[in-house]
Amino acid sequence: MRKFKLLIILIQIVLISVFAIPAKAALVGDVTKATLSLSPQTGNYSANESFKVNIYVNTGGQNINTVAAYLKYDKNYFQALSIDTTGSAFTIEAENVIDSSNGKIKITRAIPTPGINSTNGFVAAVNFKALSNNTSAVDNVTFDFTPGDPTKSAVFVDDGRGTYILSGVYNGKYTVGSGGPITYPDGSLLKASNSEKVYLIENNQKRWIPTGDIFTSNGYSWANVIVVDSAIIAGYADGPNVLASASQSIPEGAIIRAVGDIDVYIVKYVGAKKFKRLILSPSVFNSYQHLKWSDIKNIDKSVIDLFTTSELVRAVGDPKVYKLYPSGDTGEKRWIKTAGTFNNMGFDWDAIYEINQVDRDSYIEGAVIE
């Protein structure tokens, strides 16, 4: 009942707003709608050390006007010192309470219409003090959250009806003294609270995932990224960057081009082998009726480099296999005279592309390879 009374007061204050009953250690719930998260989601601190935990809201693509962030913490290991709302996206304060005797915190904030729509809206920060050694293996700073229950942590849409849309929360897990540093199993996805870089943990190394395309091509989920203290990231040795899983993102016959480059390639797969072949010029491209300029995929160079470049071709209706030597929009073709020569040169039969006559004849005839 207390929260509903406070929300009614909010509505009276925000006269220009419409009526509303507003509103990673591990994800509780799901990410189908709005989520609340703590940042960092993990950390290791010394006894008597102070640290800050930020609260963020992802509005799930909707305009919201009220957030209620109710936290529970283990008072045996942590002391909540203060709540800091400097820089909050929500300009109106309704609740700002630390209940030290019960280890609870209540923060409710609002903003006038049209509200905010954000993937990372700052709500408030809580300043904690680490009290004694803690080796907890479970989340120990958590949102008081039950899906669909507006009397606990909640997020409300600025829609005139106060629709509740909080579907999940990311809690926090912090250790003190000999309890750390926290380590993560292989396959974990980590991001420091002060950086946008996402890393894959593997063999006790951190491997940077350079682009969103590479992230998604490997089947990773943004919902599984854990926000941690930068000291945890620094504690891992650097491993090689993660490359894209080409077979998951680029289908057979796709036409691809590296971002910032002009060369266009056509892709083919033979078993586990991945090939790309340069399309020599715009006129050659246009000679293939099934190819469309609008279908070119601009992708990261690291993805392009996963494919072996093939310069072996055979025209439709022509048994001759040629080795191509492109040079700008022109080039040279050299006939590989026999199968024995082909094998002796170490060429791969699977790498041969079948091309049309326009493509073949765009190359001048060079010396026979024999």
- Residue 90 and residue 175 in one domain: yes
CB 307 within 8 A of CB 267: yes
From the CB of residue 142, how many other CB atoms can be counted at a distance below 10 Å? Answer: 22
Domains of the chain: total: 2
- Residue 28 and residue 173 in one domain: yes
- Residue 122 and residue 8 in one domain: yes
Q: Is 155 exposed, middle or buried (0-12, 13-18, 19+ CB in 10 A)?
A: buried
Token readout for 321 is 């296999």
Q: Is residue 64 part of a domain?
A: yes
Q: Which residues pair with 54 in a beta bridge?
A: 39, 125
- Residue 290 and residue 146 in one domain: no
Q: Is residue 285 part of a domain?
A: yes
DSSP-derived 3-state class of residue 64: strand
- Residue 171 and residue 275 in one domain: no
What are the b/e assignments for 214-236, b being 16+ CB within 10 Å?
A: bbbbeebeeeebbbbbeebbebb
pLDDT at 249: 65
Range of the domain at 289: 246-365
Instruction: Give the span between the Cα atoms of 217 and 220, in whole angstroms.
Output: 8
pLDDT at 299: 81
pLDDT at 20: 30
User: pLDDT tens, position by position, for the chain (370 residues)?
Assistant: 444 444 444 444 333 333 332 224 568 999 999 999 999 988 888 888 899 999 999 999 999 999 999 999 988 889 999 999 999 999 999 999 999 889 999 999 999 999 999 999 999 999 999 887 777 667 889 999 999 999 999 999 999 999 999 999 999 988 887 655 566 788 889 988 888 999 999 988 999 998 887 887 777 888 888 887 787 888 888 999 887 665 456 889 999 998 889 999 999 999 889 999 999 999 999 999 999 999 998 887 878 888 999 999 999 999 999 999 998 888 999 999 999 999 999 999 999 999 999 999 999 999 999 9
- Residue 258 and residue 158 in one domain: no
Q: Is the link from the previous residue into 181 a cis peptide, with omega within 30 of 0?
A: yes
Q: Is residue 55 part of a domain?
A: yes
**pTM (two decimals):** 0.52
Give every CB contact of residue 1 below 8 A, 6+ residues apart in sequence: none
- Residue 136 and residue 34 in one domain: yes
Q: Is residue 206 part of a domain?
A: no
pLDDT at 222: 84
Q: Is residue 157 part of a domain?
A: yes
Strand 189-192 to strand 225-228: parallel, antiparallel, or no bridges (unpaired)?
parallel
Instruction: Give the span between the Cα atoms of 260 and 262, in whole angstroms.
Output: 7
CB 314 within 8 A of CB 321: yes
Residue after which a domain boundary falls, among 134, 159, 182: 182
Cα–Cα distance list, 231 to 41, 126, 185, 364 (Å): 12, 19, 17, 60
Q: Is residue 133 part of a domain?
A: yes
- Residue 271 and residue 122 in one domain: no
- Residue 149 and residue 33 in one domain: yes
- Residue 252 and residue 144 in one domain: no
Q: Is residue 208 part of a domain?
A: no
Residue after which a domain boundary falls, among 130, 159, 182: 182
Q: Is residue 214 part of a domain?
A: no
Cα–Cα distance list, 95 to 37, 52, 74, 225, 318 (Å): 18, 19, 21, 30, 80
pLDDT at 245: 63
- Residue 163 and residue 30 in one domain: yes
- Say how many CA atoms lie within 13 Å of 209 toward its Cβ: 25
CATH code assigned at 123: 2.60.40.680
Rounded (10°) CA dihedral 212, 215, 220, 223: -30
Q: Is 283 exposed, middle or buried (0-12, 13-18, 19+ CB in 10 A)?
A: exposed
pLDDT at 303: 81
Instruction: Give the span between the Cα atoms of 105 and 143, in whole angstroms.
Output: 9
Type of residue numbered 79 = Q
State the DSSP string of 237-248. Answer: EE-PPPPP-HHH
pLDDT at 8: 42
- Say how many CA atoms lie within 13 Å of 30 toward its Cβ: 3
Instruction: Give the span between the Cα atoms of 275 and 355, in whole angstroms.
Output: 15
What are the b/e assignments for 313-342, b being 16+ CB within 10 Å?
A: bbbeeeeebbbbebeeeebebbbbeeeeeb
- Residue 136 and residue 20 in one domain: yes
